[in-house]
Amino acid sequence: MPFPDLQQFIGELDAGGQLKRVRATVDPALEISAITDRVCKLPAAGNDPPPPTDPVHGTRGGHALLFESVAGSSIPVAINLFGSYARMRLALGVTDFEELADRVQQLVKPEVPTTLLEKVKKIPQLAKLAGYGPKSVRNGRCQEIQHTDDANLLSLPIIQCWPHDGESGYGLKPTEEAAGTPRYITLAGVYSKDPETGIDNVGMYRVQVFSEKLAAVHWHMHHDGARHFRKYKRRGERMPLAVVLGGEPVLPYAATCPLPPDVSELLFAGFLNHGGIERVPCKTIPLEVPANAEIVIEGWVDTDRLLIEGPFGDHTGFYSLADRYPALNVTAITHRENPIYPTTIVGLPPQEDYYLGKATERIFLPLLKTLVPDVIDYHLPMFGAFHNCVFIKIRKEYPMQARKVMSAIWGAGQMMFSKMIVIVDDHVNVHDEQDVLFRVGANVDWRRDVAVVDGPCDILDHATPTYGTGAKIGIDATRKIPGEGTVRDWPEELTMTDAMIERVRQRWAEYGL
């Protein structure tokens, strides 16, 4: 089962040999990041075999790290907590991602009861679903210690990830000088509320710290947080915002999930947690936050003030350039007694975020199949940094089916950012990149089988000619059939007979090989 808070999760990692404690004093500026960048590319802790969908990269991840002595703060720093398949499965309370995929399948495409008895049997399932919603409580561990007038972001061990992060003169000229080394909050759930519907949103947006009570929140125009911001701005109101660190280990994962608009991340977190997330009212803003969080930063977003945020070393492996993002004025910092500060770094993969993304790839396959029934399986290769490439397997039944699937994928939520889509036949292993690329080389005519379209692109894609828009490519690497342009006689792939494969298997010991 999932864990009730971050510290119990860390304790389990420690007991299971998945955690390394660093007792030497370290600098939060670059040193923690440099150590972690080296560790996360080491062999995975423990003896868990890699998943069949990722036999190469699944062997990496190193250990989770707990830095017990961080210069400038009394709070320990935890990092790389989710940086392996074993730790992701532990955080989500499963032995295999397919368990969660099956549960998601029941949610998105439940079996419809046809008889009265079947309907009665469904009642407990519906009641259980209702129990996944967040639960309000009066008191929470996240408010054991409270700072309002004396709230100070600089008292937290916030890290600098990469050398040019927040660097003055790298891109746009800053409107505010950061107090000392520019630091970024990187593994927090950012909580906001739609002022019209009252629906909560939790996003994982980075936050640059400028001074004791001033920060900037980075969200892309496509994100729900940005949509809420635009609504508050139209109303001429400031926007309440909470930055939450820690809590139930399912929370960071839920905040990263590509959920449909207005589907609550907290409801999904409750689903993952097998029970609703407990929340307490904030002290200075009209929002509720997870009661079991480590640290909560409360504040108001000024909808009339933008700061120059960035640059930032991003998951693309490049710096995302500085730009204008909303100012957050901090009104309170609350935390539990003896908190731990969770953080992460992103950059050239593999990093911790790779395993969060691969969990989503597996768990949300049923949802993608519901949106695009042609899809049998898909793979987000590491080199694609989540949005640059996706491999998709289909069972081809009619001409131009691959083109139809490309269009559907570009219209499916955050999959719209897919810069390159490769479609292959159902016998191809989409998780074997060489198998996919073999079909690209063998089956593709570049005039007939390629589609280039214009549309929305990831804001972090520095190659696009304009901000947030550019060209995307679809490659049909399937066997071609009549009706798909000029198609010559298509040869059969080389395969051995099943009978001979079985004969060799049975006699293998005889061969002395």
pLDDT in tens, 219-275: 988 888 899 999 999 999 999 999 999 999 999 999 988 776 667 899 889 988 989
Is 65's pLDDT higher than 90?
yes
As a whole number of angstroms, the distance between CA 44 and CA 46 comes to 6
> Are 216 and 309 contacting, i.e. CB atoms less than 8 angstroms apart?
yes
pLDDT at 121: 45
SS3 77: strand
> What does the pLDDT average to over 335-340?
97
> CB neighbours of 176 closer than 8 A, spacing ≥ 6?
210, 211, 214, 307, 308
Is 299's pLDDT higher than 70?
yes
pLDDT at 78: 98
> What does the pLDDT average to over 396-400?
95
As a whole number of angstroms, the distance between CA 215 and CA 154 comes to 11
Is 104's pLDDT higher than 70?
yes
pLDDT at 179: 58
> What does the pLDDT average to over 374-398?
92
- pTM of the shown model: 0.88
As a whole number of angstroms, the distance between CA 474 and CA 308 comes to 36
Least confident of 339-348, 349-358, 433-442: 349-358
pLDDT at 133: 87
Whether the CA torsion 313, 64, 254, 70 is positive or negative: it is: negative
- Contacts of residues 43-48 at CB distance under 8 Å and 24 or more positions apart, as own/partner, are 44/84, 44/85, 44/86, 45/17, 45/18, 45/84, 45/86, 46/16, 46/17, 46/18, 46/86, 48/84, 48/85, 48/86
Is 33's pLDDT higher than 60?
yes
* Closest listed residue to residue 325, CA positions, set 212, 215, 452: 215
Which residue is it, tokens 């955080």? Answer: 91
Which residue is it, tokens 């939450």? Answer: 244
Comma-separated ranges of CATH 3.40.1670.10 domains in the chain: 372-498
> CB neighbours of 417 closer than 8 A, spacing ≥ 6?
387, 456, 457, 458, 461
Q: Does the annotation count 314 as an active-site position?
A: yes
Higher pLDDT, 120 or 218: 218
Determine the distance from the C-alpha atom of residue 176 to the mean position of all C-alpha atoms in its chain, rounded to a whole number: 30
Whether the CA torsion 444, 450, 456, 461 is positive or negative: it is: positive
As a whole number of angstroms, the distance between CA 176 and CA 416 comes to 35
DSSP E strands in 395-501: the ranges are 420-424, 450-456, 469-476
Least confident of 10-24, 53-67, 147-161, 479-493: 53-67
> What does the pLDDT average to over 410-434?
92
Whether the CA torsion 441, 445, 447, 452 is positive or negative: it is: negative
pLDDT at 45: 86
Both tokens of 216, joined, read: 């900037």
- Contacts of residues 145-150 at CB distance under 8 Å and 24 or more positions apart, as own/partner, are 145/334, 145/335, 145/336, 145/337, 146/283, 146/332, 146/334, 147/332, 147/333, 147/334, 148/283, 148/284, 148/331, 148/332
> What does the pLDDT average to over 121-139?
68
As a whole number of angstroms, the distance between CA 224 and CA 227 comes to 5
Both tokens of 149, joined, read: 């007038």
Comma-separated ranges of CATH 2.30.110.10 domains in the chain: 132-342
> What does the pLDDT average to over 277-300?
97
SS3 37: helix
pLDDT at 120: 46
Determine the distance from the C-alpha atom of residue 76 to the mean position of all C-alpha atoms in its chain, rounded to a whole number: 24
Name the active-site residue from 314, 353, 461, 476: 314
Length of the chain: 513
User: What are the b/e assignments for 307-320, b being 16+ CB within 10 Å?
Assistant: bbbbbbbbbbebbb
Determine the distance from the C-alpha atom of residue 113 to the mean position of all C-alpha atoms in its chain, rounded to a whole number: 35
As a whole number of angstroms, the distance between CA 453 and CA 461 comes to 16
**Architecture in CATH for domain 372-498:** 3-Layer(aba) Sandwich (3.40)
Is 183's pLDDT higher than 90?
yes
Is 312's pLDDT higher than 70?
yes
> What does the pLDDT average to over 337-344?
98
pLDDT at 178: 56
| Bond preceding residue 311 cis, omega within 30 of 0 | yes
Is 307's pLDDT higher than 50?
yes
pLDDT averaged over the chain? Answer: 89
Is 112's pLDDT higher than 50?
no
Query: Which helix H or strand E contains 480, and what residues bound it?
Result: none
> What does the pLDDT average to over 323-329?
94
What are the angstrom distances between the C-alpha of 211 and each of 79, 164, 180, 307? 23, 18, 9, 12
* Closest listed residue to residue 184, CA positions, set 155, 168, 162, 169: 162
Higher pLDDT, 158 or 316: 158
pLDDT at 174: 52
> What does the pLDDT average to over 85-112?
81
pLDDT at 127: 47
- The CA radius of gyration of the chain, in Å to the nearest whole number, is 24
* Closest listed residue to residue 101, CA positions, set 369, 362, 426: 362
Percent of the chain with pLDDT over 90: 68
Is 6's pLDDT higher than 80?
yes
SS3 78: strand
> CB 105: neighbour CB atoms within 10 A?
17
* Closest listed residue to residue 224, CA positions, set 246, 239, 213, 244: 239
As a whole number of angstroms, the distance between CA 12 and CA 78 comes to 14
Domain 132-342 sits in CATH at: 2.30.110.10
Is 159's pLDDT higher than 80?
yes
Which residue is it, tokens 């490519």? Answer: 473
As a whole number of angstroms, the distance between CA 367 and CA 433 comes to 23
> What does the pLDDT average to over 159-181?
71
As a whole number of angstroms, the distance between CA 87 and CA 80 comes to 9
